[in-house]
Structure 1
Amino acid sequence: MRNATVEMTRLAAMDPREATRLLKGIRDAALRGRSAPLTPRADIQASWQRMLSGGVDPDRDRRSDLLTAAELEARRAASPLLHVLPVLREGLMQLPGSVADPVRHIMVVADAEGRVLWREGHASVLRMADGHGFEPGADWRESTVGTNGVGTALVARRPVQVHSAEHFVATHHPWTCAGAPITDPRDGRLMGVLDLSGPVATVHPATLLLVGSVARLAEAELRNRHLSELARLRAVAAPLLHRVGGRAVAVDLHGWTAAVTGTAAQDRLPLPGSVGPGGRVWLPSLGECAVEPLPGGWLLRVVDGGEAGAADAAATRVVLDLSRAREWTVRVSGAAGGWTRGLSPRHAELLYVLAVHRDGRTAAQLAADVFGDRTRTVTVRAEMSRVRRTLGGVLAHRPYRFRDDVEVEVVGPGEPRDLLPHSTAPAVVAARGV
């Protein structure tokens, strides 16, 4: 019979000292390889396994060097999260009656490398954080400080709550925290983490929901800013496209389409990293294109004779690179050139399954592979539709599969257990072999 899992609602209802004793018992059993009456929550258990494999000291924290003042300011200025600080602040710290009471919590915003960029809240909690090394410029990756609301959310790529002795390192046990990743709506790139932390007694079961909701509000604000940028680019490009003969597309620097002429509109084109003014690029849906600069983007003119079908057929090799913890890419290449595109966590899972099963998978099979539920075919079809907008030239369907004449290579991490560490997909979990 499997052990029951301790839930956050139950912990929040307990006396803080009782909850800490319970969690310490579970943690001590895990450190000693023994069974306990209760098991940790899935995200916590997965993080502890990473810490044990990585040799993180469970008894004392290890603090890295802080960023210099100049380095910190440079990272702040370059971070897209700078533009959504008011949304984060108003969402968490200024809501009347919010569970995020500014007298009892601090708001922390970290970048994609786990470096704390901004921090604010009540002076007493800030002083407590100072003594803990939880300060601007500090490194709060899991590999540095163990299981925590910043570093664990970066790895899991979803909201995570860590309470008291759920922190792997014992010196963090006086804290409770909840973190949610924030991704760039333009390209799915992980930008950082929003975290709400406070003393153990401030635990609340609604905290994680609040932090996740505010992170989504920030992403919505970034999406609105992007739409405004596309509108400005469209205003500049429209007169040029009116005078262009043949097929042409105006895109922003991330490949999102602002305006088109002579061809079917697509939401986004996969731009190679080498795109530049005066050059030429090969795109799977258009063929060979001449590149001209626009303010905030590019004008892509399809070269005479370029045909999408010929370009698609020229793709002969796909490399799915899953070797890094949070940056997954697919590279498509052939006689006409190649391009590389970053992948979202879900698309990385789907393409991994298709790369392993070259004979193909039905929607029901993919639903079982990724969600553990064969009935979620609607979700699978929607996600595969998005994937095929980019990889239509190398993917077939009925069943979903890579084309037979395309060579597919998967570049995995050094250790199988590190494959897509965020993923709970049954096919990925089985491949890790842990």
Structure 2
Amino acid sequence: MAHSPSDVARLTAVDTARAARVLDEVRDATLSGQPGPLDPRPVIGESWTRMLRGGVDPDHDFRAGLLDHEEIERRRRDSPLRHVLPVLRQGLLSVADITHHIMVVADGEGRLLWREGSRPVLRRADGFGFELGADWGENVVGTNGIGTPAVVRRPVQVFAAEHFVRTHATWTCTGAPITDPRDGRLIGVVDISGPWESMHPSSLAWVDSVAKLAEARLRERHLASLDRLRSVAAPVLARITGRALAVDRDGWTAAVTGMPHLDRVALPAVLGTDRIRLPSLGLCSVEPLPGGWLVRVSDERCAPRGATRIELDLGQPRRWSVTVADGAGTWSHELSPRHTELLYLLALHRTGRSAADLADDVFGDPGRTVTVRAEMSRVRRYLGSVLEHRPYRFPEDAEVQVVLPENPLDLLPHSTAPGVLRSRVLPPRESWAQSRPITGYSA
């Protein structure tokens, strides 16, 4: 009779060698469709299911092409993770070397950009492709401590035969995602790895706490940069009688005058000095500032926008976005996991959802309306007039298209929201038929 997944954790804490043997039996039984001595932990079992559905071969050690040195260096320069390497090293490396582990830092695509620690363990890692520039996305090499945390958006420990690919079963990985504290976007994963004999149950909390320290350092850097921009912009804004704001290069607001504060404005990918229309602001002119832009809001009425088309792209496993196109142009915004859930639920229910409805859809608790209203307020700051409220909904005359993964079971794999889980049970077209259908569908 199968036991609770918590039995695996208790067994691992007491006797790692015995746990490794039991997990090998669990893995073989599960992949062959037979009952095993224990059930795999939910996070592992769900990952194995994704791997079988995606065609990853558990008996073949597949290795994607390594990035060359120039591409690794380019990604390092472009990655915000470079700013928090000292935090990661200080928190992880000293203990990792003692416990015969290595620290690995990957970008949001699962590419290994930094790798440090015990030299013997580094050489052992080379033996199965755990090296700089390698792609350790879950869909490439199966369940692991880099790719799986990136998919489920939470810390994961993968011990011995919990790895989907058999040749990785001599290894243990403990990884935690690092997200952009400004908007929740995944920017990478930090992982501690080594031979399974060196695994310790406390590694999960240890790695997670260091990842959170890194996110806190990124938040401090962001606030400091806004402070610098605010100092530069203050004398300029003091001379302006109308509405204006100073934003950094990513659209985060440092200061405003003549208008309520906005956390962020959605800027076009290419921004010159021409007049443009920005969501929630209307017609604007922009001027460069050191470290950002001065945005002057015009009092002129914009020309009619024409038909509005909204595309919600959920087709990728780790990155989601919303694109709005109308007569005045097109702009896109990358979404955090929570905002992705909310907009998907509104696309399902075109007639609208109240705060209590969304709280029930997201948390299974209609009483959590304060949290929902706060999140929807943030969403409306960048979606502007293309998202209405009372109830929350997309405009009735807007064309809404949702790009979904080919299999409904791959829909937002990180999400535990009841409204999303219901969509994974039925094919998308059937689930949409229960409410007002989405205008467009693409897979």
TM-score between the two structures when normalised by the length of structure 1: 0.91
* 1:6/1:38 contact within 8 Å kept: no
2:161 partner letter = A
Does residue 146 (structure 1) correspond to residue 142 (structure 2)? The answer is: yes
Aligned-residue offset at 1:253:
0.9
* 1:286/1:306 contact within 8 Å kept: no
* 1:272/1:341 contact within 8 Å kept: no
Q: Equivalent residue for 2:393?
A: 401
TM-score between the two structures when normalised by the length of structure 2: 0.89
Q: Runs of 5+ in structure 2 lacking a partner? A: 427-443
Q: Equivalent residue for 1:202?
A: 198
Does residue 231 (structure 1) correspond to residue 227 (structure 2)? The answer is: yes
Aligned-residue offset at 1:2:
8.7
1:420 to 395, 412, 433: 412
Aligned-residue offset at 1:402:
2.5
Q: Equivalent residue for 1:299?
A: 294
Distance 1:251 1:350 in 2: 26
SS in 2 for 1:204: coil
Aligned-residue offset at 1:431:
1.5
Does residue 132 (structure 1) correspond to residue 128 (structure 2)? The answer is: yes
Q: Equivalent residue for 1:43?
A: 43
1:248 partner letter = A
Aligned-residue offset at 1:414:
2.6
Q: Equivalent residue for 2:279?
A: 284
- Which digits, 9 at most, give the CA deviation of each residue in 1:320-376, with x for residues without a partner? 111222221112333333422111011101111111012222333323322334443
Aligned-residue offset at 1:282:
1.2
Structure 1's 38 and 367: CA in aligned 2 closer, same or farther, altered over 3 A? farther
Distance 1:217 1:117 in 2: 20
Aligned-residue offset at 1:315:
7.7
Q: Equivalent residue for 1:54?
A: 54
2:277 partner letter = W
SS in 1 for 2:167: helix
* 1:318/1:330 contact within 8 Å kept: yes
2:5 partner letter = T
Higher mean displacement: 365-374 or 236-245: 365-374
Does residue 365 (structure 1) correspond to residue 343 (structure 2)? The answer is: no
SS in 1 for 2:75: helix
Structure 1's 194 and 305: CA in aligned 2 closer, same or farther, altered over 3 A? same
* 2:97/2:118 contact within 8 Å kept: no
Q: Equivalent residue for 1:182?
A: 178
Q: Equivalent residue for 2:430?
A: none
Structure 1's 374 and 101: CA in aligned 2 closer, same or farther, altered over 3 A? farther
Structure 1's 224 and 169: CA in aligned 2 closer, same or farther, altered over 3 A? same
* 2:409/2:425 contact within 8 Å kept: yes
* 1:164/1:174 contact within 8 Å kept: yes
1:432 to 384, 400, 424: 424
* 1:322/1:420 contact within 8 Å kept: yes
1:413 partner letter = P
Aligned-residue offset at 1:399:
3.3
Q: Runs of 5+ in structure 1 lacking a partner? A: none
* 2:136/2:147 contact within 8 Å kept: yes
Distance 1:279 1:157 in 2: 39
Aligned-residue offset at 1:147:
0.6
Aligned-residue offset at 1:107:
0.7
Aligned-residue offset at 1:19:
0.7
Distance 2:182 2:80 in 1: 11
SS in 2 for 1:410: strand
Distance 1:315 1:208 in 2: 50
1:307-386 aligned within 5 A: 316-386=308-378
Moved over 6 A (4+): none
Aligned residues: CA RMSD: 2.3
Q: Equivalent residue for 1:268?
A: 264
* 2:280/2:383 contact within 8 Å kept: no
Structure 1's 125 and 380: CA in aligned 2 closer, same or farther, altered over 3 A? same
- Which digits, 9 at most, give the CA deviation of each residue in 1:236-264, with x for residues without a partner? 22222222342211110111111212211
Q: Equivalent residue for 1:32?
A: 32
Q: Equivalent residue for 2:436?
A: none
Distance 2:139 2:346 in 1: 31
SS in 2 for 1:229: helix
Aligned-residue offset at 1:180:
0.8
* 1:186/1:254 contact within 8 Å kept: no
Structure 1's 316 and 67: CA in aligned 2 closer, same or farther, altered over 3 A? closer
Distance 1:204 1:114 in 2: 24
1:260 partner letter = V
Distance 1:243 1:8 in 2: 66
Distance 1:222 1:90 in 2: 16
Distance 2:25 2:99 in 1: 30
Structure 1's 53 and 72: CA in aligned 2 closer, same or farther, altered over 3 A? same
Among all aligned residue pairs of Structure 1 and Structure 2, give the percentage whose two residues are the same amino acid. Answer: 62
Distance 1:102 1:223 in 2: 30
